[in-house]
Amino acid sequence: MSNPMHSRRKELTVFPTGGVTLSCKAILSDLDGTLVDSTICVDYAVQTWADEHNLHLGDLVEKAHGRRTIDIVKMFTPQLDIDAEVKHLEDLETSCTKGLVPIDGAVELLSRLSPHHFAVVTSGSHRLATHRLTHTKLPIPKVFITADDVTLGKPNPEPYILAADRLGLEAKDCIVFEDSPNGIKAAKQAGMRVIAVAVRSAEHDINDADYIVHDLTWVTLRVKPDSTLELTLQGAEEV
């Protein structure tokens, strides 16, 4: 789960000098694999839980990426105490801080965004997401959509629709950063443009995004005088 660029994906196309430029009113971003590198902690929790219940790890990784913990538990162990298993999985994840660091470029990008320009939209619980942001010293945004805030998680569009609504924006005014097929599907169904961050997307197919960047150092942000955001993608792949 370490190769950020996949053999099935076409080669990255480096745009002409200046890159490709996109405009929006806000950025809505997933958390794990997009703003925070939590790969080691996620792998530890998933491997431990799979071993405990004799689950097929490959199947679990493929279907679980980008989903809420409660949806994963219901999918793979519906016969067990759902609330107890959700808590156990989250305990495993919050017990780990090994390798838990910001994705390259995340600190600089977030430092340029005002509260009305940004939201985090994660499938993690408020407890888990707060743990990750606090440990990596990334800001906790004013609009912070977690698994606790929605009835239906990704790939349903509800989380992204809710984030746009709380920012007072329409879907077309938002650009989403994602790293999972489930998250990309949710954002696209919400009517938003999607930039996939590939550095920790492993072997998941992220080609349904509108653009693919390796990490957030490939994204340059400028806040225009009218408060519109201008994003320049250097070396991005346009899908």
Peptide bond into 155 cis (omega under 30): yes
In SS3 terms, the chain reads as CCCCCCCCCCCCCCCCCCCEEEEECEEEECCECCCEECHHHHHHHHHHHHHHHCCCHHHHHHHHCCCCHHHHHHHHCCCCCHHHHHHHHHHHHHCCCCCCEECCCHHHHHHCCCHHHEEEECCCCHHHHHHHHHHHCCCCCCEEECHHHCCCCCCCCHHHHHHHHHHCCCHHHEEEEECCHHHHHHHHHCCCEEEEECCCCCCCCCCCCCEEECCHHHEEEEECCCCCEEEEECCCEEC
Catalytic residue, from 30, 37, 71, 179: name it. 30
For residue 30, indicate whether it is catalytic.
yes
Catalytic residue among 32, 37, 71, 179: 32
**Is 32 a catalytic site residue?**
yes
User: At residue 42, what is the residue type?
Assistant: V
Alpha carbon separation from 102 to 43, 80, 94, 147 (Å, rounded): 17, 34, 16, 21
C-alpha distances in Å from residue 28, one per residue of 49, 122, 163, 195: 30, 10, 7, 10
Q: Which residues are catalytic?
A: 30, 32
